[in-house]
Amino acid sequence: MRADAARRREAIITQARHIFAERGGDVALEAIAAASGVGIATLYRNFPSREDLIAAVVDDMVQQILDAVEEAKTEAVEDAAAAWETLLTRLLDLELGALTDGLGVQARPASNVARGGGSDAASPLARIQQPALDALDELVAVLQDAKAVRGGLRGLDVIVALATITRPQAAPIREAAPEVRAQLAEAYLAWTRTG
C-alpha cells in the first residue's frame, strides 16, 4: 500500500473511532468520510462495509492495548507499580467506554464462549479482542507476582472497569462534575493495589 493510501486509511480509522465513540455505531459513513477528509468512495474502497470498518476500529484499539501492555512489561522490570499506573493511564486515554458504547460492541471475549457463555463460536470481533485480553492477563499475573497488583484481578476485569469509568455522560452531568472521571480512575488505581 502506498504511503498516502496508508495515511488515508489510518485517518479513516482514527476519525471513525472518535465519531463512533461520540455518536454511536450507526452514524452515517458519509460523516466519517467527511471528517477523514476523503470521499465516500474512498472510504468504501478501504472498508467495503460498516462491519469491515468497525472491525478495523476494534483491531486498532486492540493494537493500542497490546502496545501499552508491551511497554508496561518492559517498565515492570524496573518498577512494577509505576508500570501499572502508566498502563492504566494509557488505557484510560483510549476511552474504551465511549467506544464500546458507541459501537454497541456485540463481541464477547472468546474465553466466555469457551466457559459456556453462549454459542459454540466466538464472534469475529471477540476473536479480534482476545489477544489483548490474553496479553493483559499475562501482564497482570507478572504484576501480581511483583505485589504491585491485588490478587484475583483479570485482564477482562481491568477492561470492564476502565470502560465503565470512561463511559460517556450527558453534557450537563459532565459539566456539573468534571473531576469525577479522574477521581474514579484514582480510586480504581488505589483499589487494584490493595488486598
pTM of the model: 0.79
Same domain, 63 and 42: no
Query: Is 65 in contact with 136 (CB distance < 8 Å)?
Result: yes
- Round to whole Å and give the CA distance between 133 and 27: 28
CA distances for 49 relative to 16, 43, 44, angstroms: 13, 9, 7
The amino acid that residue 98 corresponds to is A
Same domain, 79 and 174: yes
CATH of the domain at 108: 1.10.357.10
Going by the DSSP 8-state scheme, the letter that residue 117 receives in this structure is S
Domain count within the chain: 2
Same domain, 40 and 73: no
Same domain, 101 and 171: yes
pLDDT digit string, tens, across residues 19-41: 888 787 788 999 999 999 999 99
Same domain, 8 and 70: no
Same domain, 34 and 79: no
Closest CA to 32 of 23, 110, 141: 23
Query: What does R_g of the chain's alpha carbons equal in angstroms?
Result: 18
Same domain, 85 and 156: yes
Same domain, 62 and 78: yes
Cell numbers describing residue 152: 484475583
Same domain, 40 and 95: no
pLDDT digit string, tens, across residues 35-93: 999 999 999 999 999 989 988 988 898 899 999 999 999 999 999 999 999 999 999 98
Same domain, 44 and 62: no
Same domain, 29 and 61: no
Domain ranges, residue 120: 54-193
pLDDT digit string, tens, across residues 139-177: 999 999 999 999 999 999 999 899 889 887 777 888 899
